[in-house]
């Protein structure tokens, strides 16, 4: 079939004289065009489903590690049960991996911290999630402002995590080593690892609010809300600009907001109050 196609277009896609067989320069151009055609056919199929109101598709979703374990369990099972003809694939990926896969059209939807300001990527805002102080040292019993927190007391994620960068910017921290009272410099690769070390060393860190929902009563007493101003991150859904499963996207967005909105603290002016959990 490939040989027949080559005869029809008058171009050799594969050089069969070489071992192993190689793609010709002209063939590489043709294959790239065929990929675009295949994508267009898939988009046409999805558009026809949209027109007919069918919620039936393969949906590839990825979320960053500081969001996935706390957000996905809140809505995913219920969402999948509502739409049994959706085949949902879930991945936990970094921000850069999500962006790259969206641009290569290997991923449908990303859930991450915005804004990205990336070409070809469309962002849909979900909610603002405040950061809270988790203080197992009891140094900050009366703290309610971000500038009261000492940089030397904070334990953070390792380099490359967007949450680390956000906290550094929020607190106007330098890139100097944290934990100077110790003879090692700890940078956690996950929130779970961060929490384990913070608890073990009676230390302090900043956490996204949803990460504290399953804390024990004792741990919740060590969580302190911060205001004036509120340190927070924006969480959103991101898709490629040619993404066509728009009805599925809206359903997903509504499902997440339905589950999360009531759990987040209420904000008034520059202060926040705890919502019932």
| The pLDDT of residue 261 | 93
How far does CA 93 lie from the centroid of its chain? 7
Greatest distance between any 2 Cα atoms in the chain: 79
| The pLDDT of residue 11 | 86
State both tokens at 207.
Answer: 């956490």
Strand 57-63 relative to strand 271-273, pairing: unpaired
**How far is 136 from 146, CA to CA, in rounded Å?**
17
pLDDT digits (tens, 9 = 90+) for 197-212: 888 888 888 899 999 9
pLDDT digits (tens, 9 = 90+) for 214-262: 999 999 999 988 877 788 899 999 999 988 888 899 999 999 999 999 9
- DSSP at 203: -
Question: Could you give the C-alpha distances from 221 to 66, 124, 173, in angstroms and in order?
Answer: 22, 34, 26
| The pLDDT of residue 272 | 52
Residues of the chain where predicted confidence (pLDDT) is lower than 50 = 174-177, 180, 183-184, 271, 274-277
| The pLDDT of residue 120 | 92
State both tokens at 28.
Answer: 């590489």
**How far is 42 from 207, CA to CA, in rounded Å?**
40
How far does CA 206 lie from the centroid of its chain? 18
| The pLDDT of residue 176 | 44
| The pLDDT of residue 235 | 96
Instruction: Residue 88: name the closest of 69, 113, 107 by CA.
Output: 107
User: Three-class SS string for the chain?
Assistant: CHHHHHHHHCCCCEECCCCCCEECHHHHHHHHHHHHHHHHHHHHHHHHHHHHCCCCEEEEEEECCCCHHHHHHHHHHHHHHHCCCEEEEEEECCHHHHHHHHHCCCCCEEEEEECCCCCCEEEEEEEEEEEEEEECCCCCCCCCCHHHCCHHHECCECCCCHHHHHHHHHCCCCCCCCCCCCCCCCCECCHHHHHHHHHHCCCEEEEEHHHHCCCCHHHHCCEECCCCCCCEEEEEEEEECCCCCHHHHHHHHHHHHHHHCCCCCEEECCEEECCCC
Q: Which domains does the chain have, with CATH numbers?
A: 1-54 (1.10.10.10), 55-127+235-273 (3.40.190.10), 129-224 (3.40.190.10)
State both tokens at 222.
Answer: 């060590």
């Amino acid at each position: 079939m490939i040989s027949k196609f080559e005869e029809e277009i008058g171009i050799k896609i594969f050089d069969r004289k070489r071992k192993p067989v190689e793609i010709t320069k002209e063939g590489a151009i043709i294959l790239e065009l065929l990929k675009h055609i295949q994508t267009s056919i898939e988009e046409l199929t999805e558009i026809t489903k949209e027109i007919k109101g069918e919620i039936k598709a393969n949906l590839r979703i990825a979320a960053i590690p500081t969001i996935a374990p706390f957000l996905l369990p809140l809505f995913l099972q219920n969402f999948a049960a509502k739409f049994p003809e959706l085949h949902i694939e879930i991945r936990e990926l970094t921000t850069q991996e999500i962006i790259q896969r969206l641009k290569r059209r290997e991923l449908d939807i990303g859930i991450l911290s915005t804004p990205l300001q990336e070409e070809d990527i469309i962002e849909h805002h979900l909610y603002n999630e405040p950061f809270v102080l988790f203080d197992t040292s009891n140094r900050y019993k009366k703290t309610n402002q971000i500038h009261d927190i000492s940089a030397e007391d904070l334990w953070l994620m390792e380099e490359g995590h967007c949450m680390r960068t956000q906290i550094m910017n929020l607190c106007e921290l330098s890139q100097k080593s944290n934990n100077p009272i110790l003879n090692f410099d700890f940078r956690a690769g996950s929130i779970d690892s961060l929490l384990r070390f913070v608890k073990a060393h009676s230390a302090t860190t900043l956490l996204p609010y949803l990460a504290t929902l399953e804390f024990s009563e004792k741990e919740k007493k060590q969580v302190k809300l911060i205001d004036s101003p509120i340190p927070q991150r924006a969480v959103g859904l991101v898709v490629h600009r040619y993404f066509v499963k728009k009805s599925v996207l809206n359903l997903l967005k509504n499902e997440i907001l339905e589950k999360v909105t009531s759990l987040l603290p209420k904000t008034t002016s520059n202060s926040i109050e705890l919502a019932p959990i």
